[in-house]
Amino acid sequence: MTYCVGLLLNEGMVCLSDTRTNAGLDNISTYRKMFSFEVPGERVILIMTAGSLSVTQTTIARLQEAMDHDEATPETSILLAPTLLKVAELVGNTLSWVRHEIDEKLAMSQGAHASMIVAGQRRGGAMRMFLIYPEGNFIEATEDTPFLQIGEHKYGKPILDRVVRPETSLHDAQKAVLLSMDSTLRSNLSVGMPLDLAVIEKDSLRVGMRRRIEAGDEGFRAMSEAWSTALRDGFARISI
């Protein structure tokens, strides 16, 4: 499984994904689930993926092919698409096609499926973030719901529900997604280190900060322990 989370805040966007992929419990590997596409100063697009690796890899490869094609048009390339909404549509359509192709091959009732988070901004446009469902349709993050999650999303949702608001700072937002991931890592074996963290500042039109957090990362371990201590202390102080 997977856990990916994206925050759409007044100051910018924060995205975090794990890297664990498994086909059965004894075939666990590390795959990047976060992909960024930039035309610096013009647009930045970040895609995170969850679900069947065969579907997500093929979808990303198709999108890349369309971008690299000599005859790329605003109708086919997410780097040329006139709006972020159009980008989400392109990703959704590609995901839907790939899924159908693979489903036909598998000929199973419960075929391969995948979902994605697409976050980005183009010059002159607003920051936008979309969750693309396996069927290719999508929803968008809003002021009321400034975060989107895919994969094993439930363990890490309570902390986000409590602390993430549009006015949350990018610094606090990084803390929030890392603690949300920490709760997920502790409670679910199928989500694993290393992690990919990316921050896109509003109107910067590029991925400003990108960090891979490895399994032995001292800062992450310290934060995780500080959070455990804070939770236990808070728990001890509460009276019923």
Footprint of a copy of itself (CB under 8 A): 152, 154-159, 161-163, 171-172, 174-176, 178-179, 183, 186-188, 219, 223, 226-228, 230-235, 237-240
- Residue 127: C-alpha distances to residues 44, 122, 200 (Å): 10, 8, 9
CB of 41 to a copy of itself, least distance (A): 29
CB of 20 to a copy of itself, least distance (A): 17
User: Which of residues 117 and 160 has its CB atom nearest to a copy of itself in the complex?
Assistant: 160
CB of 58 to a copy of itself, least distance (A): 29
User: Which of residues 119 and 185 has its CB atom nearest to a copy of itself in the complex?
Assistant: 185
User: Which of residues 86 and 165 has its CB atom nearest to a copy of itself in the complex?
Assistant: 165
Q: Taking a C-beta distance cutoff of 8 angstroms, is the pair 15, 80 a contact?
A: no
Name which of 106, 3, 112 is nearest 50 in CA terms: 3
Q: Show Cβ contacts of residue 91 under 8 Å, excluding neighbours closer than 6 positions.
A: 47, 59, 63, 78, 116, 118, 130, 132
Place of tokens 């957090």: 213
CB of 4 to a copy of itself, least distance (A): 16
3-state secondary structure of 183: helix
User: Which of residues 23 and 230 has its CB atom nearest to a copy of itself in the complex?
Assistant: 230
Within 10 angstroms of residue 75's Cβ, the number of other Cβ atoms is: 11
User: Which of residues 69 and 171 has its CB atom nearest to a copy of itself in the complex?
Assistant: 171
- Residue 126: C-alpha distances to residues 13, 40, 77, 205, 228 (Å): 11, 16, 19, 11, 37
User: Which of residues 45 and 191 has its CB atom nearest to a copy of itself in the complex?
Assistant: 191
CB of 213 to a copy of itself, least distance (A): 10
For 98, counting Cβ atoms within 10 Å of its Cβ (0-12 exposed, 13-18 middle, 19+ buried), the class is buried
CB of 150 to a copy of itself, least distance (A): 14
